[in-house]
Amino acid sequence: MSDITTPQTADAAAAATAPVLTVDELTIGIGSRKNLKSIVKGISLTLTPGRIQGLAGESGSGKTVTSLAMLGLLPSNAVVGGSIRLNDTELVGMTHRQLNEIRGRRIAMIFQDPSSSLHPQLTVGVQLTDHVTRHLKLSKKQARAHAIELLERVRVPNPAEALARYPHQFSGGQRQRIAIAIALACDPIVLLADEPTTALDVTVQAGILHLLRDLADERQLAVLLVTHDLGVMSAIADDIAVMRHGEVVESAVRQEIFANPQHAYTRELLASLPGAAGFEEATE
Amino acid sequence: MGNTPRATRRYSARSPLVGYLLRRLGTSVLLLFGVTIVTFALANLVPGDPIAAALGEGAASNPATVEAYIKERGLDQPLPVQYANYIGGLFQGDMGISLRTTQPVADDLAKAVPATVEIALLAIIVSLGIGVALGSLAAYRRGKISDQLVRVFSLIGLSIPTFWMALVSFNFFFLQLRIAPGSGRLSPALAPPPTVTGFYTADALLAGQWVTFTDALAHLMLPVFVLSLFTIGLLTRFVRTSVLEVLDADYVRAGRAKGLSGSRLLFGYVLRGASLPILTIVGLAFGTLLSGTVLVEAVFAWPGLGSYAYNSATSLDLPGVMGVGLVVGVVYLSINFAVDLLYGVLDPRVRLA
């Protein structure tokens, strides 16, 4: 597992690869026109193929809202300023119809709790194929074969049988693997992961993180990993941005953040970890 | 991942569902017995002299006639024996002879029930369609003008007394505007179609009698409209609340994040998620519609269960009243059974519970 905690080749490759998603001076306010509450106050980020960008911060710091903005999934009373570009396409200001061509197809997302993010009344097979037939114009049969391949890749046992089953018939860790398979089904270039292991047992967290790292490497996915847990960050993130009160207070490659934190808030967060060895153990 | 084998076994075991349904069927039969006891007891406890009512003033004053009548009907037996006779008859489809129509109650009900079912079925379909559409619209546009309008409309539907609406719409559409046909199931000039289902519309279609079909449908319009108003109001409210709840669910957000189309999201994800509470209220509303909406049937002179119940009760026709009670009991039990079955179809988690 030491190879996933230190992706040596990634640093060199990153310099050569252009970012696929660029967030520039993003601002998000929520509320009525007269009573707008500013949630995100001008943050900038880039996501690069094959790299995992961590976005850390306590709850309420604006990190989840930032990830939702990238898919245009904010509530209708949200006001978004600044720019989010996917390659050269500006996403801010797009209509839902336009965004639907990007959601799931170019940018996919996995959520915190797979027991609520998977539809309890739809089989795994339906949830793994309904967007595939829409985006990739595959036939039902092709989509099914594709779905079996995906489940194999995320290591869900008996993929063909699993398609006919419902989410509640799987363990929490397997559900999140299924959610990852759904996210990857249309071969997106960006994956947003919002606290992907927070709702899971500690024993299965490492497996999910390992899988995300492997998928980022082999598919050259640009991953945004949103979490409050620096232990999770230390396990798989390449770069880390620390958010507080809607602003990025510090942003650097992972080793830099852990070895030499510049901002007082980052040091506070690090100090709250259960001992220096704590976050290394979390990956085992 | 240690749960895999267990999950597999659970899924392949279909028998729990069958066992559950059999148990459910068993309790239904028991409940039905309970219903017969209650209707029988109530019918025999109510004050009034059904014999006098049946025989009329003149005959009732003649003791010999009364005695012969009592003997013939077994009314001199103790109540438990009378009840046993009643149950014994039920098993052979004998619900007794109506004191009012002097026909077997079973035959009377066989004519009245389809008339009510025809209205109730149409009313529930119309209400479900409109209620789901309006409720979803209001939920999607929460707080906007369209939401307010829908809520006002559903409140109006819920608040207007149905019998009043029946009177007003009968007066307005039939007597004033003359665009609706009058009372009853068919215009007097037309003969009922040959009975297959008992629904005049369906039977007329089966017999290829186009004129009878349109006439029967036209006669259905007004009562269905009046009955639907309340049910639409009820369903709109429930659908709105249930859809609002589901719209906040993670799985709907996840569906959006997949880039699904609006209609796929609404029908495949949102309404499916809201289907259980909606189904519950549809079952209740359908039961109310089926058990005969007495006053509406009275206004439109609709020869259904409601009219039959009303006529039997006012003429102290005890076999008729008991027959209606039994039918209403069966209706509620079957609807509950069907709703439970559909829960299992709509939600896989119910199958294991």
Query: What pLDDT shows up at residue A271?
Result: 82
HSE at residue B274, side-chain half, CA atoms within 13 A, is 29
Q: List CB contacts of B136: < 8 A, sequence separation 6 or more.
A: B239, B240, B243, B266, B270, B271
Q: CB–CB of A262/A250 below 8 Å?
A: yes
CA distances from residue A54 to A223, A241, B35, B65, B314 in whole angstroms, order as listed: 8, 6, 66, 97, 78
pTM of the model: 0.83
Amino acid at position B180, single letter: A
CA distance B43 to A184: 67
Closest residue to A73, CB basis, from B2, B253, B272: B253
Closest residue to B250, CB basis, from A100, A116, A169: A116
Decide if A169 and B7 are in contact by the 8 Å CB cutoff: yes
| CB contact A206 to B (< 8 Å) | no
Decide if A174 and B1 are in contact by the 8 Å CB cutoff: yes
Any long-range contacts for B200-203 (C-beta under 8 Å, 24+ apart)? B200/B118, B201/B118, B202/B118
CA distance B85 to B88: 5
**For chain B, percent helix, then strand, then coil, each to nearest 5?**
75, 0, 20
How are beta strands A21-31 and A78-86 bridged, if at all?
antiparallel
Decide if B348 and A108 are in contact by the 8 Å CB cutoff: no
Q: List CB contacts of A68: < 8 A, sequence separation 6 or more.
A: A74
Decide if B349 and A165 are in contact by the 8 Å CB cutoff: no
**Is B126 a residue whose pLDDT tops 70?**
yes
Mean pLDDT score, B41-50: 74
Other beta carbons less than 10 A from residue A104's beta carbon: 27
Rg (CA), chain B: 25
Q: List CB contacts of A31: < 8 A, sequence separation 6 or more.
A: A37, A77
CA distance A273 to chain B (A): 28
**Is B242 a residue whose pLDDT tops 70?**
yes
pLDDT confidence tier of residue A277, bands split at 50, 70 and 90: very low
Decide if A116 and B253 are in contact by the 8 Å CB cutoff: no
Decide if A119 and B251 are in contact by the 8 Å CB cutoff: yes
Q: CB–CB of A235/A3 below 8 Å?
A: no
Dump pLDDT digits (tens) for A115-160.
999 999 999 999 999 999 999 999 999 999 999 999 999 999 999 9
Least confident of B21-25, B72-76, B154-158, B341-345: B72-76
Dump pLDDT digits (tens) for A239-268.
999 999 999 999 989 988 888 888 888 888
User: CA angle, corner A39, sides to A37 and A40, nearest 5?
Assistant: 135
Strand order in the sheet with A21-31: A36-47, A21-31, A78-86, A89-90
CA distance B51 to chain A (A): 58
**Is A8 a residue whose pLDDT tops 60?**
no
**Is B230 a residue whose pLDDT tops 90?**
yes
**CA-based end-to-end distance of chain B:** 22
| CB contact A168 to B (< 8 Å) | yes
Chain B neighbours among A 185-204 (CB < 8 Å)? 204
Average pLDDT over chain B reads 86
Search chain A and give the residue with CA nearest B2. A171
Nearest Cα neighbor of A159 from A146, A172, A168 is A146
Q: What is the DSSP string of chain A?
A: -HHHH--HHHHHHHHHSPPSEEEEEEEEEEE-SSSEEEEEEEEEEEE-TT-EEEEE--TTSSHHHHHHHTTT-S-TTEEEEEEEEETTEE-TT--HHHHHTTBTTTEEEE-S-HHHHS-TTS-HHHHHHHHHHHHS---HHHHHHHHHHHHHHTT-SSHHHHTTS-GGGS-HHHHHHHHHHHHHTT--SEEEEESTTTTS-HHHHHHHHHHHHHHHHHHT-EEEEEES-HHHHHHH-SEEEEEETTEEEEEEEHHHHHHS--SHHHHHHHHTSSSTTHHHHTT-
Query: What pLDDT shows up at residue A273?
Result: 75
Decide if A121 and B273 are in contact by the 8 Å CB cutoff: yes
Going A81 to A85 to A90 to A91, the CA torsion angle's sign is: negative
CA distance A251 to A233: 13
Q: CB–CB of A190/A108 below 8 Å?
A: yes
> A131: which chain B residues are within 8 Å (Cβ-Cβ)?
258-260
Other beta carbons less than 10 A from residue B239's beta carbon: 28
Decide if B259 and A109 are in contact by the 8 Å CB cutoff: no
Amino acid at position A245, single letter: H
Chains A, B: CB pairs < 8 Å = 103
CA distances from residue B194 to B104, B110, B285 in whole angstroms, order as listed: 21, 14, 30
HSE at residue A57, side-chain half, CA atoms within 13 A, is 23
Place of tokens 């290394």: A280
Q: What is the DSSP string of A183-208?
A: HHTT--SEEEEESTTTTS-HHHHHHH
Q: CB–CB of B50/B322 below 8 Å?
A: no
Q: CB–CB of B312/B321 below 8 Å?
A: yes
Query: What pLDDT shows up at residue B42?
Result: 79
| CB contact A254 to B (< 8 Å) | no
Decide if A119 and B273 are in contact by the 8 Å CB cutoff: yes
Instruction: Please state the separation of Cα B105 from the chain's center in Å.
Output: 20
Decide if B272 and A169 are in contact by the 8 Å CB cutoff: no
**Is B8 a residue whose pLDDT tops 60?**
no
CA distances from residue A122 to B270, B273, B279 in whole angstroms, order as listed: 12, 10, 18
Dump pLDDT digits (tens) for B311-331.
998 888 888 988 998 999 889
| CB contact A67 to B (< 8 Å) | no
Decide if B4 and A161 are in contact by the 8 Å CB cutoff: no
Closest residue to B257, CB basis, from A103, A161, A173: A103
Q: CB–CB of A14/A50 below 8 Å?
A: yes
CA distance B344 to chain A (A): 10
Mutate to test the interface with A, among B17, B248, B251, B253 (most CBs of A within 10 A): B251
Amino acid at position B119, single letter: I
Which DSSP state fits B192?
P
Query: What pLDDT shows up at residue B21?
Result: 78
For chain B, how many residues are written? Answer: 353
For chain A, how many residues are written? Answer: 284
Other beta carbons less than 10 A from residue A225's beta carbon: 30
Query: What pLDDT shows up at residue A172?
Result: 92
CA distance A124 to chain B (A): 12
Query: What pLDDT shows up at residue A281?
Result: 44
CA distance A88 to A45: 15
Decide if B249 and A116 are in contact by the 8 Å CB cutoff: yes
Dump pLDDT digits (tens) for A188-241.
999 999 999 988 888 899 999 999 999 999 999 999 999 988 888 888 999 999
Q: List CB contacts of B49: < 8 A, sequence separation 6 or more.
A: B60, B316
| CB contact B272 to A (< 8 Å) | yes
Q: CB–CB of B97/B108 below 8 Å?
A: no
At residue A185, φ and ψ (nearest 5 deg) are: -60, -35
CA distance A261 to chain B (A): 34
Decide if A121 and B1 are in contact by the 8 Å CB cutoff: no
| CB contact B30 to A (< 8 Å) | no
> B256: which chain A residues are within 8 Å (Cβ-Cβ)?
71, 73, 103
Mean pLDDT score, B62-77: 79
CA distances from residue A239 to A48, A251, B53 in whole angstroms, order as listed: 10, 7, 93
Dump pLDDT digits (tens) for B102-114.
899 999 999 999 9
